[in-house]
Each structure stands twice: as C-alpha cells, then as structure tokens.
C-alpha cells in the first residue's frame, strides 16, 4: 500500500470519488483507491470492503473511513468525512430541489430510470474486476458465486427476510471457509 500524501490529498480524492459516484460509488471507489491512486491492491480493497459491509452505514464510506484512520488517524477520518459528504451533500440537496420541481416531465423520469441502469452496470463491472481476488479466498470463486446466487434467490424470489438470508447463507459461507482453513 502506498499511503496518501496528506489528509488533504485523501479528502480531495474522496471528494472526487463521491462526486462521480451517485448510485455506483463502489466501482468508482475501487477505481480511485486501487487503479488510479494505488493506495490499495485488490486483496486489501476486498478485505476492507468485507469489514465495511459488516458495519452499519454505507459500505464505501465505511471503507474510506477505515483507510483514512489507518493512514492518518482521526485527521484521516475527518478528511474522508469532509471529502465524501460536504460538497456532494450540498450538490445532492440542490439537485433534489430541481428534480422535485420537474419530476412530472417524461425527460426527468427517463433520466432517473437511466441512472438506475448505469448504477447496475457499474456494480456488475466492479464484480467482474474482483473475480480474480475472489479465487484466492478460502472458498474460491465457484463457492462465492454459488452463495451469492443462493442469497439472491432466497431474498428476491423466495422473499426471505434479509436477516435470515444473511444468517443462513453467511453462516454457510463462514462454515465452509472455516472447514477449508483447518489443517
């Protein structure tokens, strides 16, 4: 890992990340932290993302907060919060006012639908880029995909409550990984 040059540098990158990533910020975060800045490699990114997903709150903000804390302590945490929330938050509030005033127009409705499609595409692209590091986990890519499809089937089609899906599929994944890690 090559750390950021300063908390200010971290704040600028987090601001750039947040301004690019309405709805598809995970893909942008991976691009910024792994490819562009080279602060993390794919394995480090996945490790932080895994921890971030367990914590309450938005995954990418949790990931960036952990990175900021590792690099600069409390100053890094403040840099991440300021960079990711201040300008994008003000911009989102302003855009929300404009959209609400024009939401009845077909052009605005089409743009909102298009943003959803773009966000889904960005998420799929990020998943594809993270397949190689997934192969190096104790479960491997096949089990990882199988568990992901199982979780999707249980939550989307069988309509299981998310808590039960996480406990069931997550518990199975942890048990399989633990079994493979035993000598």
In tens, the pLDDT along 98-130 reads 888 998 999 988 988 888 888 788 778 888 888
Q: Which two tokens stand for residue 13?
A: 């990158």
pLDDT on residue 22: 62
CA distances from 134 to 8, 48, 121, 144 (A): 32, 14, 20, 7
- Nearest to 24, CA basis, from 93, 94, 117, 109: 117
pLDDT on residue 135: 82
pLDDT on residue 70: 94
User: Which residues of the chain fall short of a pLDDT of 70?
Assistant: 22-24
- Structural domain boundaries of the chain? 7-134, 137-183
pLDDT on residue 23: 62
- Nearest to 7, CA basis, from 86, 85, 87, 65: 65
pLDDT on residue 82: 95
């Amino acid at each position: 890992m090559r750390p950021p040059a300063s908390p200010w540098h971290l704040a600028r990158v987090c601001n750039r990340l947040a301004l690019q990533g309405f709805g598809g910020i995970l893909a942008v975060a991976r691009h910024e932290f792994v490819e562009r800045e080279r602060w993390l490699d794919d394995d480090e990114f996945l490790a932080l993302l895994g921890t971030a997903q367990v914590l309450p709150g938005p995954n990418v903000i949790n990931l960036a907060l952990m990175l900021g804390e590792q690099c600069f302590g409390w100053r890094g945490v403040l840099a991440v919060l300021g960079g990711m929330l201040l300008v994008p938050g003000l911009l989102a509030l302003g855009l929300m006012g404009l959209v609400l005033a024009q939401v009845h127009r077909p052009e605005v409705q089409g743009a909102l639908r298009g943003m959803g499609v773009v966000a889904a595409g960005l998420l799929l692209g990020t998943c594809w880029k993270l397949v190689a590091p997934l192969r190096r986990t104790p479960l491997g890519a096949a089990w990882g995909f199988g568990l992901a499809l199982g979780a999707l089937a249980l939550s989307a089609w069988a309509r299981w409550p998310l808590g039960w899906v996480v406990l069931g599929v997550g518990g199975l994944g942890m048990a399989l990984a633990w079994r493979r890690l035993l000598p």
